[in-house]
Chains A and B, each alone.
Chain A
């Protein structure tokens, strides 16, 4: 263990620990190895990407909601993708859908959410000086940055970005002659995603190592805040599943460029019979969804973890069922790996497999239900303070329930026959995965902004932002279920070709588009608040939310190494809120039981004897390692 920590710690600082040479601007803000700076880099990149990703969705919502609209005003941005008659090009419509999905799932909700908060909170909440390897951490961000540059660049090339849906099923994605979006845009997509996966793996290894090795004295796994449990399980999920996507992408690159036939068989296209035989497009789908399904939880678990922390803090109550929460996260993480084929019920996969995957999929409802009930019970008989973070967390629970429930229908293979690839699916996953995770991200920003920037976000604007966003998202996605139940297929440029979609729900689609534009507009309140408060916000107090976790014991603007002097030891769990007998309604984790005899439970008095032992423990302080 010591060697792991020592190796990484050698880079940044020399034998003398108490003061550090001021580093150059480049090393401080750009190629920084400090987890807090890297977290902020991820956050700002994530916000940038979310603006792009949501703008793309607004563009295709204009097409869907107002098919007759002249879109000439978009020509300054989209150029010739708006044709002479002022219509959006159908190829580019598919590109918009594809890039919206890719950007939101990977660049915003994976990198922007997990990258920001795993980096920021893991060292601060487990009591570590920094990540296990600051250098790998820096590499992780810059691989992500490179991936971002390439993905962004692909939006501007002549044939357009990848356009086969974010799932990039071959043969469409493998054959440049099949589709404009399968030309250079697809190549760039694959390169970008390969780099992105490298970034995720570097990050994930770091998160896992840090949580296992660098916890402070007394911080046993059973005392970890639920945020850390969630980040830890997320990193494990990513580490196991992302390599599978990498191999899927590599095989696709081979098929595209080197004439192999992993995914191609018996294809006749553009007047030519291709020589490839023996491959299987279904193979790609299995590989893709082996990542793709855990990815849903990679996106969602950090949001659930942060929400647990925020709801407990602001209800002034212990999180209800701490162990049940961990168990259900572990259950979800495990099941996440064995449900992937529920995305493939009607792909021609063996129906027997469909039965198995239906069974496994519906089991996931059980730990999810436990989590939802535990959140609700945490509110029960609390003393709730509605900070913006708390509001977004309650919103998350509502989305998690509303979107999760429709999963019970979609996970049922017999019912999926009709609903597969309709707007019902779109509505389902946007609520449970998209909106819920986005609310987790926003809740996290509102809650930990004071720790990040030493200033407070404006609360009133936070309230307005929450209500507009919360209402807006329901207005977008609730009616979308109706369109799905009526059989409207997704990824359709227009609904005019079929009698069963032609004359119905045109007004509903307009309504959804308006609601989407409205919701997008409301986000500028947040962005303004974010930027303004970063420089001009009220100065943050030491512990603005009266929270128990360790990060609030660090200085308001933590420097290199997070704590000056010794890292605090930990004696209790993170959820001693409103403990009977205690004079405050919170007891931070670093307060020993010997100092709180008035509120100790009988079994906790016995733990007083262990305090000496905890204090004498070998401190995993990276500053004290020989190197």
Chain B
């Protein structure tokens, strides 16, 4: 790249010298007489440049494409991501053909039909058949692309399956907070933005007993591999947008309007280390909706691991209620007893309930406001 820049700089320098010398000559000839028919050398030069530009440009485009290809669409680790990647390259190949053909015609015609003395252009104002052809062909191609794209979109945006594992990601200036449904009931508790304070950053509502075992993290989101994930997304202050490049996930976080994205990650972080050949590989979550000064660094790590180690990890985590016992004052009297085990015994033993059957309709209270 350094060499290219060097070569280009030399070319540009040469052109600059040329321009300056031209300017000097312009000043001299500016007051010269008007010459009506002076189509000549410069017309041929410009016509020739059209073809040169196209050929050199095409070579540069192909070379740079091959050069940059290694970084395109980083390894997809979700089934829907591989599907959209396929559609991307399908569309890309169609538009590449259209790009080359139309640009080739444009520049070739410009060169081929340059001014020739004594020649007259052909009077060719319309041709309905041609118009029809190039209306119908794009229409058919578009119909194909719309149809495949629509099916993919429908599948991606479909309702999450019943057994999906729920997580919540809350955006704030300038970090993400991950909330887990906890190990006891696997349900996210209700929340209310008015309950947010420095102890309770996501505004967990402790009048809902599903909240008791919820725990939060600002550094990592751990998810199990090969299991449908329902990511519930909201924002505390301004718009943010969850972007997980390797999983092809993107969805805005909107204050006052919870959103969601369902996906399955089918490669663990360790597998990705092998695939990418990068021993330090880690999934990352970024923000793609401008949210202020720290927008460019709202990073949170995403760890994809197999189900067993994921559950083991979850069990090591302390519910927020245990780490911030002062929140207990918000628990209504009738639920105090149920909350007791999180408050008295920090080393909570997890119940045997490792199945996910416990997701019932109650857990959906959080999602009532989410859009479909």
Q: Which residues of A contact B (CB under 8 A)?
A: 90-91, 94, 164-165, 169-172, 175, 178-180, 264-269, 271, 273, 277-282, 315-324, 346-352, 354-355, 358-359, 362-363, 365-366, 369-370, 372-377, 379-386, 391, 394, 397-398, 401-402, 405-406, 408-409, 412-415, 417-418, 420-422, 458-461, 463-464, 467-468, 470-471, 474-475, 478-479, 482, 485-487, 489-495, 497-500, 504-505, 507-508, 510-511, 514, 518, 525, 528, 532-533, 536-539, 541, 575, 577-580, 585
Q: Which residues of B contact A370 (CB under 8 A)?
A: 131, 134-135, 138
- Give which listed residue, B22, B245, B287, contacts A418 with CB less than 8 A: B245
Q: Which residues of B contact A471 (CB under 8 A)?
A: 53
A575 touches B293 (CB 8 A): no
Given contacts A94-B293, A418-B81, A514-B9, 9 further A-B contacts (CB under 8 A): A268-B194, A268-B237, A280-B257, A383-B115, A385-B43, A408-B94, A492-B295, A500-B245, A580-B123
Contact flags (1/0) for B132-147 with A, using CB distance below 8 Å? 0011001100100110
B297 touches A468 (CB 8 A): no
Q: Which residues of A contact B122 (CB under 8 A)?
A: 317, 381, 578
Query: Does B361 reach chain A (CB closer than 8 Å)?
Result: no
Contact A412:B149 (CB < 8 A) given known A499-B281, A585-B120: yes
Say how far A604's CB is from chain B's closest CB, in angstroms: 12
Q: Which residues of B contact A577 (CB under 8 A)?
A: 121, 123
Residue of A nearest to B116 (CB): A383
Q: Which residues of B contact A359 (CB under 8 A)?
A: 146, 150
Contact A464:B15 (CB < 8 A) given known A381-B124, A398-B106: yes
B72 touches A317 (CB 8 A): no
A414 touches B153 (CB 8 A): yes
Q: Which residues of B contact A324 (CB under 8 A)?
A: 126, 131
Say how far A476's CB is from chain B's closest CB, in angstroms: 12
Query: Does B163 reach chain A (CB closer than 8 Å)?
Result: no
Q: Which residues of B contact A280 (CB under 8 A)?
A: 256-257
Query: Does B26 reach chain A (CB closer than 8 Å)?
Result: yes
Q: Which residues of B contact A369 (CB under 8 A)?
A: 134-135, 138
Q: Which residues of B contact A (CB under 8 A)?
A: 1-2, 4-5, 8-9, 12, 15, 18-19, 22-23, 26-27, 30-32, 34, 36, 39, 42-43, 45-47, 49-50, 53, 57, 61, 64-65, 68, 71-74, 81, 83-84, 87-88, 91-92, 94-95, 98-99, 102-103, 105-107, 109-110, 113-116, 119-127, 130-131, 134-135, 138-139, 142, 145-146, 149-150, 152-154, 156-157, 173, 193-194, 196, 198, 203, 233, 236-239, 241, 243, 245-246, 248-252, 254-257, 259, 280-282, 284, 286-297, 299, 370-372
3 residue pairs, one from A and one from B, having the closest CB atoms: A265-B256, A351-B157, A348-B259
- Give which listed residue, B68, B248, B281, contacts A417 with CB less than 8 A: B248
Residue among A374, A382, A479 having the largest count of chain B Cβ atoms under 10 Å: A382
13 interchain pairs, CB-CB under 8 A? A94-B293, A172-B238, A268-B193, A348-B259, A351-B372, A382-B109, A391-B46, A401-B102, A415-B87, A460-B22, A467-B49, A468-B19, A575-B125
B237 touches A355 (CB 8 A): no
| Interchain CA distance A94-B292 in the complex, whole Å | 8
Q: Which residues of A contact B287 (CB under 8 A)?
A: 489
Q: Which residues of B contact A170 (CB under 8 A)?
A: 238
A179 touches B292 (CB 8 A): yes
| Interchain CA distance A577-B121 in the complex, whole Å | 8
| Interchain CA distance A179-B237 in the complex, whole Å | 11
B126 touches A321 (CB 8 A): yes
Contact A376:B105 (CB < 8 A) given known A279-B256, A482-B64: yes
- Give which listed residue, A408, A422, A461, A492, contacts B296 with CB less than 8 A: A492
Say how far A1's CB is from chain B's closest CB, in angstroms: 32
| Interchain CA distance A385-B116 in the complex, whole Å | 9
Say how far B43's CB is from chain A's closest CB, in angstroms: 5
A318 touches B290 (CB 8 A): no
Contact A172:B371 (CB < 8 A) given known A267-B193, A362-B145: no
Residue among A172, A510, A578 having the largest count of chain B Cβ atoms under 10 Å: A172
Contact A266:B126 (CB < 8 A) given known A178-B292, A362-B146, A420-B250: no
Q: Which residues of A contact B257 (CB under 8 A)?
A: 265, 280-282, 348
Contact A350:B150 (CB < 8 A) given known A324-B131, A500-B284, A539-B34: no
A500 touches B74 (CB 8 A): yes
A354 touches B121 (CB 8 A): no
A354 touches B134 (CB 8 A): no
Say how far A616's CB is from chain B's closest CB, in angstroms: 29
Say how far B147's CB is from chain A's closest CB, in angstroms: 10
Contact A478:B61 (CB < 8 A) given known A346-B251, A415-B91: yes
Residue of A nearest to B56 (CB): A471
Residue of B nearest to A182 (CB): B292
Residue of A nearest to B25 (CB): A460
- Give which listed residue, A279, A319, A538, contacts B34 with CB less than 8 A: A538
Contact A541:B36 (CB < 8 A) given known A346-B241, A482-B72, A575-B125: yes
| Interchain CA distance A164-B287 in the complex, whole Å | 14
B236 touches A164 (CB 8 A): no
B23 touches A528 (CB 8 A): yes
- Give which listed residue, B92, B110, B236, contacts A409 with CB less than 8 A: B92
Contact A282:B57 (CB < 8 A) given known A317-B122, A479-B68: no
Say how far B68's CB is from chain A's closest CB, in angstroms: 4
Residue of A nearest to B32 (CB): A538
